[in-house]
Structure 1
Amino acid sequence: MQDYYDGLLDITHGCTGVTVSYSKLHDHWKGSLVGHSDSNASEDKKITVSYAYNHWSNINSRTPSFRFGTGHIWNNVFDNNNDGINTRVEAELLVENNVWSSGTTKPLYSTTNGYAVARGNDFSPTGTNTAPQGHFSQAPYQYNLIGTSSVRSSVTGSAGVTNFC
């Protein structure tokens, strides 16, 4: 069967106020792209996206990848992914209290002038943050962070399809 889509969850063309939460994104070549193209600044600079309490597993790249706009990524679990969060083309990210398993050597990185403020993350023993320091350091809404020691059990127990009955 051939796939007729690019990533599992792509957010493009000036979307604002998008939140992806309690989802399980897994088993694909590309996870989530934010921003249409490198030449779409006029439309995509206004993008605002939040990712919270998601489980990213067995994905090659884009966990997620941001072009332009701002993103807040907190309390997510990343397992067995080749690539990490990519901030690029003037994107500004706030990345807080996320947890990576061993194997992802670049859990947070930049290509072509992306930036990030990273706090409280567990990049695993093999991973490092190589993204340049950004300026987006406070989300425009209230939220509660789970300590990194509790993120894995909280997220893997509630992300994706679960039985609430």
Structure 2
Amino acid sequence: MASAPVPYSHVDCSLRALAGQAQGFGRFAVGGLHGELYHVTTLSDDGPGSLRAGCRKKEPLWIVFEVSGTIELSSHLSVSSYKTIDGRGQWIKLTGKGLRLKECEHVIICNLEFEAGRGHDVDAIQIKLNSNHIWIDRCSLKDYADGLIDITRESTNITISRCHFSNHDKTMLIGGDASNCGDRCMCVTIHHCFFDGTRQRHPRVRFAKVHLYNNYTSNWGIYAVCASVESQIYSQCNIYEAGQKKVAFKYLTEKAADKEEASTGCIISEGDLFIDGTKSGLLEPTSTPSNPFHPSQYCQTWTVVPATNELKHVLQHCTGWQDVRRPPDL
């Protein structure tokens, strides 16, 4: 195991060093690496120089901000392929609605805040319909009408890292419905995130293979992690600190549309730290598949450290939006 508790700090040495530096399933995401710089010069929802105008362009773009403040979105903001939305160097909050990644690939979203999204089916970030190679890094997300991050409909090769989730109920959903059997292809990595008193779904998973490592989940309201139909979750060196609800892992039984019998999912726990009276809630090993998912099946190296109080302190202070300068575009 590596000794450094905060991974890939070197990526802030130059602007585009971020591309390709994700760990886990989203590690090949390049975003707008091969495109021009697009400068957001207004906090307006649309129009010249707006974030929306940049995201709808078809060519690769590395999007940076020349302004700080709140962008009030009147509708979902669709992000097209080969885009980096890079909030380093400014403070940008998205509110009202959220980002929609639909049938797109190679998107990086870094160092933004999401707060107070309202309306039916409004998530902070929706990833859906065969989206691929996505990395969400160092974002703060809270208080949306539906989910904070929802990953559905055969979207895969996704990494969520160093994000701070707070003041919310249904935090992160991976696999939207037991009828979507194509979601068996989905693969997601979640690491170095802080789930800060959020109620449930850290994450809730159907069908997908999910690698959780070095996250801190605190004071959940129902459960920390939920495995449902055919999901395989590998929980490695995470910290689970209960509040009133003591059981970290929950299992739900559902029937895949192409199966005769209902089933639940599988959770394997390695090196996790359960503190303040937390009970794992793990099922007996007899429920584990004969060839369970292991992270080494997709990646030989990742930055994982033991689950300790030191790691807990790091995650409390080094997740979510960070006041860092925008690196030069060398």
TM-score (norm 1): 0.91
Match of 1:77 among 194, 216, 237: 216
Q: Distance in 2 between matches of 1:128 and 1:117?
A: 11
Rounded to whole Å, the distance in 2 between the matches of 1:109 and 1:130 is 8
Match of 2:317 among 138, 142, 157: 157
Partner secondary structure for residue 162 of structure 1: coil
Q: Secondary structure at the match of 1:127?
A: coil
Q: Which moved more, 1:117-126 or 1:132-141?
A: 132-141
The alignment covers a number of residue pairs equal to 164
Spell out, residue by residue over 1:18-62, the C-alpha distance to the aligned partner (whole angstroms, 9 max, x if none).
000010011111100001201111x21100001000000121111
1:68 aligns with 2:207: yes
Match of 2:231 among 91, 108, 114: 91
**Matched residue of 1:29: which SS?**
coil
3-state SS, counterpart of residue 267 of structure 2:
strand
2:279 — aligned with what? 127
Tell me the distance in 2 between the aligned counterparts of 1:133 and 1:127: 19
TM-superposed CA distance for 1:130, in Å, is 2.2
Give the letter aligned to residue 29 of structure 1. Answer: D
CA contact (8 A) 1:98 1:151 kept: no
> Unaligned stretches of 5+ in structure 2?
1-115, 123-145, 254-263, 326-330
In structure 1, C-alpha distance between the alignment counterparts of 2:161 and 2:204, rounded to whole Å: 16
Q: Does 1:53 align with 2:192?
A: yes
In 2, Cα distance between equivalents of 1:36 and 1:16:
13
Which deviates more, 126-135 or 66-75?
Answer: 126-135
Is the 1:59–1:80 contact (alpha carbons within 8 Å) kept by the matching residues of 2? yes
1:17 alignment partner, SS class: strand
Percent identity between matched residues is: 22
Matching residue of 1:39: 179
What letter matches 1:136 in structure 2? F
Does the Cα contact within 8 Å between 2:240 and 2:278 map onto a contact in 1?
no
Amino acid corresponding to residue 92 of structure 1 in structure 2 = Q
Contact 1:116–1:136 under 8 Å retained in 2: no
- Could you list the runs of 4 or more consecutive aligned residues of structure 1 that deviate by over 3 angstroms after TM superposition? 1-4, 131-134
Q: CA shift at 1:102, angstroms?
A: 2.7
Q: Which amino acid aligns with 1:130?
A: L
SS at structure 1 position matched to 2:312: helix
* Structure 1: stretches of 5+ with no match in the other structure: none
Match of 1:12 among 152, 170, 175: 152
Q: Are the aligned partners of 2:248 and 2:278 in contact in 1 as well (CA < 8 Å)?
A: no
Q: Is 1:137 matched up with 2:297? A: no
**Alpha-carbon shift at residue 3 of structure 1 (Å):** 4.4
C-alpha separation in 2, matches of 1:70 and 1:151: 25
Distance 1:111 1:59 in 2: 19
Structure 2: distance between partners of 1:102 and 1:29: 16
Whether the aligned pair in 2 keeps the contact of 1:106 and 1:130 (CA below 8 Å) is: no
- TM-score normalised to structure 2 length: 0.47
Q: Secondary structure at the match of 1:60?
A: coil
Q: Partner amino acid for 2:163?
A: S
Between the aligned partners of 2:177 and 2:324, the Cα distance in structure 1 is 39
Contact 1:22-1:158 within 8 A present in 2 as well:
yes
Q: Give SS of 1:164's match.
A: coil
User: Partners of 1:100 and 1:155 in 2: how far apart?
Assistant: 12
* Separation in 1, partners of 2:312, 2:167: 19
- The one of 246, 249, 254 equivalent to 1:105 is 246
CA distance in 2 between counterparts of 1:117 and 1:19 reads 19
In angstroms, what is the RMSD of aligned CA positions?
1.7
